[in-house]
Structure 1
Amino acid sequence: MTAEVTRPMGHVDVPNTFHRESRMARFIRWADDYTLWAFNPPDALAPGGSPTRRAIADLPDDLAATLRDLENQRCQVDRHLEDLNDESARAVRLLRRRGWSFGRIAAETGISNQRVAQLARSSLGAAR
């Protein structure tokens, strides 16, 4: 069984941002937090109690509200995309009823034949 080489070979400069936290560093950070909590709970729970808690304290207070707003916006965008997809499928279905081929629809609209076929297939079940 051979050991895996985890260091870069040769003269390779590895930027500092590439650093991954080692197990020992994680343990030391955890031990720092635990020691502060075990021997001085009020200070450990304070934002300045440890580097980890200071980093968490630097996050905005309304992070949950921000996340909720972002999720609401994402849901709205998803609904709009579904509506646009339905409209596109409806337009392809109407053009096909007028006798247009997939190739002609693709050439006139600038979208690929595969996308036109995909829209046509998605409109098969819709009776609008």
Structure 2
Amino acid sequence: MAPNLVDWMSGLPISPFAVMLIIAVFYLILGFFLDQIAILALTVPVVLPLVEQFGYDPVWFGIFIVLLAEVGLVTPPMGLNAFVVARSAGRPVGEVFLGAIPYIVAMLIVALVFLIWPELVLWLPTYMK
């Protein structure tokens, strides 16, 4: 399936940035409903060849999707971390979800910055070589 997806997406008149934006939205939507390990295990083998075809670094992509998966840990309806915090703090889950909104916005801004400037993510690994 991955080679077919790569061939199909390569033939579309769409920029690599737009493709990555679509992939990011796809991961965010999946994060609302699935566990993060399941998302990564099911999608990385299919999406990684496409990402590499468009010239993005696999290390950058790994960091990028883990950041997006982290958003799924605090967003409803799955939001496993929010349920853990609500139980341990003795607070209603809705209150925890509302309190997480600024952090969700911050993580989405960081994800957008990483998407616009991938070299920020790759600076340290490149420096350590």
Identify the structure with bigger relative contact order (alpha carbons < 8 Å, sequence gap 6+): 2
- Larger relative helix fraction: 2
Q: What TM-score comes out, normalization by structure 2 length? A: 0.26
Q: What TM-score comes out, normalization by structure 1 length? A: 0.26
